[in-house]
Amino acid sequence: MNLLDFIKLISSINIVQRLLISSVESRALPKNCEGGVASVLTKRNSFSSRTREIVDVYAKVKKLPTELAVPQSETLYMALPTERFLYLSSYKYVLVRMIQKEDLIITRHAQEKMVIESISTEQIIEAIQRGSKFNQTDGLLAVYGYYSVAYKIIGSTFVIKTVFLNR
Amino acid sequence: MKCFTCGKAELEKKKIEYKQFDVSFGKFDALVCPVCEETAFDGNVSEQIEKKAKELGLWGLAAKTTIGTSGNALDVKIPKSIIEFMKIKKGQVVIIEPIDQKRLQVIVG
């Protein structure tokens, strides 16, 4: 084994160790967070080929299907600072899976309200991601800007019960 | 996926006709519960409905309006989008009736 191979081996062990540590740490993070994998990010919401490589390794270590762990597009995953979760970690960022249109299930009542009050699916996603959340009897209420979204989470899907304008 | 309303049966994929304001938007893929008949749409289907509503000019018909005065009576200003949809004209006779203390119904003859 030459020196170059040895350095490669050491670095790969280091990555795997870090990923294993991160998988343990990720238990403390929200469900849709991929803890630690974004530690190499320097800028918020930016992805490099290096990040993609690490995410790929992470998928193999965690035995995840690649489409779940590897970002297909830059908009699929968002990097958030760990401080946001009041979480002390060696990692500066965590990858949070963005909500996609496929993750939404909209009830007929909610769809009718959307058409009447001109609230689009993008606005619903924005409210869920950025709005203030309030616990309700069965689900959550996200208040964002001039409109609110009542929904509940079943597994990885978001069931939109109703939407309405804040008057 | 089980029905999120009754929880008794699995949701079935069906193509259903979407109607709103008595106007057909066309047939769309939907998830229907065979027990309680709750209907739900996927996010992508919802986007298609949104596009169709915009094409038909039915997107965002709800509007805020203020009640004005006309002599001793009060009047309600109707926005242009609703006028175009209901095809009403100035001087046309309509029947108004309250549904409850918060809702007012206008019947165009």
| Domains (range + CATH), chain A | 3-97 (no CATH), 101-165 (3.30.2310.20)
A54: CB partners within 8 A, 6+ apart = A15, A19, A37, A40
Nearest to B39 by CA among B68, B3, B9, B73: B3
Residue A40 pLDDT greater than 60, yes or no:
no
Q: What is the mean pLDDT of residues B14-37?
A: 92
Beta bridge partners of B97: B105
Q: Do A108 and B41 touch (CB under 8 A)?
A: yes
B54-69 confidence digits (pLDDT tens):
999 899 998 888 999 9
Identify the residue among B32, B38, B41 best suited for mutation to test binding to A, counting A beta carbons within 10 A and taking the highest.
B41
Q: Where is mean pLDDT largest: A46-50, A97-101, B5-9? A: B5-9
Residue B34 has pLDDT above 70, yes or no: yes
Residue of B nearest to A107 (CA): B40
- For residue A27, is it left (φ>0), alpha (ψ between -120 and 50) or beta? alpha
Please tell me which residue of chain A has the smallest CA distance to B17: A108
Partner residue facing A101 (CB), from B44, B58, B59: B44
Task: Show residues of chain B in contact with A108, CB under 8 Å.
Answer: 38-41
Round to whole Å and give the CA distance between A87 and A81. Answer: 10
Q: Return the H-helix or E-strand segment holding A85.
A: none
pLDDT for the residue numbered A167: 77
B71–chain A nearest CA distance, Å: 29
**Per-residue confidence (pLDDT) for residue A9, from 0 to 100:** 60
In terms of Cβ atoms closer than 10 Å to its own Cβ (0-12, 13-18, 19+), residue B19 is: exposed
- Which positions in chain A touch B62 (Cβ < 8 Å)? 116-118, 165
Mean pLDDT over each residue of chain A, to the nearest integer:
66
Reply yes or no on whether the pLDDT at B97 is more than 70.
Answer: yes
Residues whose CB is less than 8 angstroms from the CB of residue A91 and which lie 6 or more positions away in sequence, other chains included: A22, A25, A35, A36, A38, A39, A82
pLDDT band at A94 (very low <50, low <70, confident <90, very high): low
Give the rounded percent of residues in chain A with a pLDDT score beyond 70: 42
Q: Where are the beta strands (DSSP E) in B1-109?
A: 12-20, 23-32, 39-42, 67-70, 73-76, 94-98, 104-108
Compare all CA atoms of chain A with the CA of B60 and give the residue at the minimum distance. A118
Lowest-pLDDT range, A66-80, B2-16, B26-40? A66-80
The amino acid at residue A164 is F
A·B CB contacts under 8 A:
68
Q: Using CA coordinates, name the residue in chain A closest to B11.
A: A105
| pLDDT score of A76 | 54
Q: Is the ipTM of this complex over 0.90?
A: no
Separation CA A22–CA A144 (nearest Å):
32
Higher pLDDT, A142 or A75: A142
- A100 has a chain B CB within 8 A of its CB: yes
Please determine, for residue A30, whether its predicted confidence score (pLDDT) is greater than 50. no
CB A114 within 8 Å of CB A106: yes
Measuring CA to CA, which residue among A57, A150, A115 is closest to residue B45? Answer: A115
How much is the pLDDT for A1? Answer: 62
DSSP conformation class of B72: T
The mean pLDDT value for A142-149 works out to 94
What does residue B45 show for φ and ψ, rounded to 5 degrees? -65, -40
Q: Can you give the pTM of this predicted structure?
A: 0.68
* Selected residue with higher pLDDT from B42 and A92: B42
